[in-house]
């Protein structure tokens, strides 16, 4: 059994990934239960490393299922030995969620516990074509969409691009992968998480590069929903084993990353409430018969005020600390559900004033819409502003210097002109 995580711990959080979301979860488990977490990143880094509350078990690239399962087996052996303490497994990326679901029986035999989900449920949630079909069934709005099947090869690209002129889709358009796990393992010059396209040749070029790089899944081409970052929403639900939606938490984005490869990562959030949007998310969780956390990306149309559901992440989002700041620590839901197997009590809906930031407050105030500036002021007065990576109980010279360095980079990473295409 590993001596680096105390044998006295009755359970061990095992968190795959090495980013903000992984460290945030480790912090939340430490805040709630004073436990140390095992982190499984691809490599050592100072987001999750150099810490008193984590121990790292680097795995190298985590795309090959056999390798991931084998490595998790090695981690389990070190953490459990011949003991029986449960290992609470939390995959940090969509493709790791799929690996866990596909190999659930083997992982459970190693001592891991995690929500009960099937590959079919995951497909309906995370494959965008299936998710949008579900939205259609429930009368929930999503962006006008066309789908390119990359398995048809490059010879089909021109025909597909030309066919868009016959649809109601108009440029500018957004392109993203239908299969986020496969896209994460696809490499070509200029590849981004989200592509913003202003004319047909740009679209044709990206599709051609993706196919030549080996991507064979679908590509989703969508109408751009107009509006700045402040029109973006993050909605988190936790649905327990009895089918009760026990946690609902909505946040408004103040500003996202705008550097290549980082698009979609929220850097500043304020907790809010909206019964209509929250009810739509709950209906999707119910229709999926989901177990555990689900997170929805949503955008409000700046002209009509209507909410458009962009996608569902089958896990906690990377920047979810707004939940804890608003009074609902996700670690407690995971512990009650999977370790204690006890009731969560009355359902909770979080609200402000509360904010979570990974950038300086002044920078958040610069990008905040007027009503969000008021929310930030209220959160500051209430002492409910959190910086997930800056944990007072986990300080060291190395981590402090790294965090200061990261804050100096923040202005360039979020830099954009609000209201333009890149918002």
pLDDT at 81: 72
pLDDT tens digits along 114-153: 999 999 999 999 988 899 999 999 999 999 889 999 999 8
pLDDT at 423: 36
What DSSP character marks residue 167?
S
Res. 3: pLDDT tops 50: no
Average pLDDT, stretch 72-93?
91
pLDDT at 262: 67
Res. 13: pLDDT tops 50: yes
**Separation CA 49–CA 279 (nearest Å):** 38
Domain 144-223 -> CATH class:
alpha beta
pLDDT at 178: 80
pLDDT at 1: 38
Res. 82: pLDDT tops 70: no
Average pLDDT, stretch 289-316?
96
Give the CATH fold of the 229-414 domain. Answer: D-amino Acid Aminotransferase; Chain A, domain 1 (3.30.470)
Res. 418: pLDDT tops 80: no
**Separation CA 2–CA 360 (nearest Å):** 38
Assign residue 162 a region: left if phi > 0, alpha if psi is -120 to 50, beta otherwise? alpha
pLDDT tens digits along 98-109: 999 999 999 999
Average pLDDT, stretch 11-26?
96
Architecture of domain 12-114: 3-Layer(aba) Sandwich (3.40)
Confidence of residue 193 (pLDDT cuts 50, 70, 90): confident
What the block records as the tokens of 356 is 């979570």
Indicate the domain borders of the chain: 12-114, 144-223, 229-414
pLDDT at 2: 40
**Separation CA 110–CA 58 (nearest Å):** 18
User: Angle 363-19-269 (CA atoms, 0-180°, nearest 5)?
Assistant: 35
pLDDT tens digits along 214-246: 999 889 899 899 999 999 999 999 999 999 999
The mean predicted confidence, pLDDT, of the chain is 92
Residue 422: exposed, middle, or buried by beta-carbon count in 10 A (0-12, 13-18, 19+)?
A: middle
Helix 128-138 with 275-288: angle, nearest 10 deg: 110
Confidence of residue 194 (pLDDT cuts 50, 70, 90): confident
Cβ atoms 382, 353 nearer than 8 A: yes
């Amino acid at each position: 059994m590993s001596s680096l995580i105390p044998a006295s711990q009755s359970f061990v959080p095992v968190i795959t990934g090495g980013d903000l979301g992984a460290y945030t979860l480790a912090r939340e488990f430490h805040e709630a239960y004073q436990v140390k977490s095992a982190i499984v990143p691809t490599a050592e880094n100072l987001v999750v490393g150099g810490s008193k509350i984590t121990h790292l078990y680097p795995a190298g690239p985590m795309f090959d299922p056999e390798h991931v399962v084998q490595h998790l087996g090695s981690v389990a052996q070190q953490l459990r030995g011949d003991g029986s303490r449960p290992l609470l497994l939390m995959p940090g990326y969509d493709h790791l969620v799929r690996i866990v679901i596909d190999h659930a029986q083997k992982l459970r035999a190693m001592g891991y516990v995690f929500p009960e989900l099937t590959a079919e449920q995951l497909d309906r949630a995370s494959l965008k074509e299936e998710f949008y079909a579900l939205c259609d069934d429930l009368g929930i709005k999503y962006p006008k969409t066309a789908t390119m099947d990359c398995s048809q090869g490059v010879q089909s690209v021109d025909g597909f691009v030309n066919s868009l002129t016959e649809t109601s889709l108009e440029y500018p358009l957004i392109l993203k992968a239908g299969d986020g796990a496969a896209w994460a393992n696809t490499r070509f010059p200029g590849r981004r998480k989200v592509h913003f396209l202003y004319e047909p040749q740009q679209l044709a070029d990206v599709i051609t590069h993706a196919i030549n790089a080996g991507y064979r899944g679908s590509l989703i081409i969508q109408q751009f929903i107009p509006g700045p970052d402040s029109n973006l929403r993050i909605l988190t639900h936790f649905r327990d084993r009895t089918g009760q939606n026990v946690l609902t938490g909505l946040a408004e984005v103040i500003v996202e990353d705008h550097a290549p490869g980082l698009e979609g990562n929220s850097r500043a959030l304020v907790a809010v409430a909206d019964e209509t949007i929250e009810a739509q998310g709950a209906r999707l969780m119910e229709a999926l018969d989901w177990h555990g956390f689900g997170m929805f990306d949503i955008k409000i149309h700046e002209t009509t005020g209507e909410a458009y559901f962009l996608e569902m992440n089958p896990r906690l989002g990377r920047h979810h600390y707004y939940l804890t700041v608003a009074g609902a620590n996700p670690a407690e839901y995971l512990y009650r559900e999977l370790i204690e197997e006890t009731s969560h009590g009355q359902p909770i809906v979080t609200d402000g004033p509360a904010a979570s930031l990974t950038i300086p407050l002044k920078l958040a105030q610069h990008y905040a819409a007027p009503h969000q500036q008021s929310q930030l002021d209220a959160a500051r007065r209430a002492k409910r502003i959190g910086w997930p990576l800056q944990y007072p109980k986990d300080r060291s010279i190395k981590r402090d210097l790294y965090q200061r360095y990261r804050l100096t980079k923040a202005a360039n990473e979020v830099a954009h002109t609000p209201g333009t295409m890149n918002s």
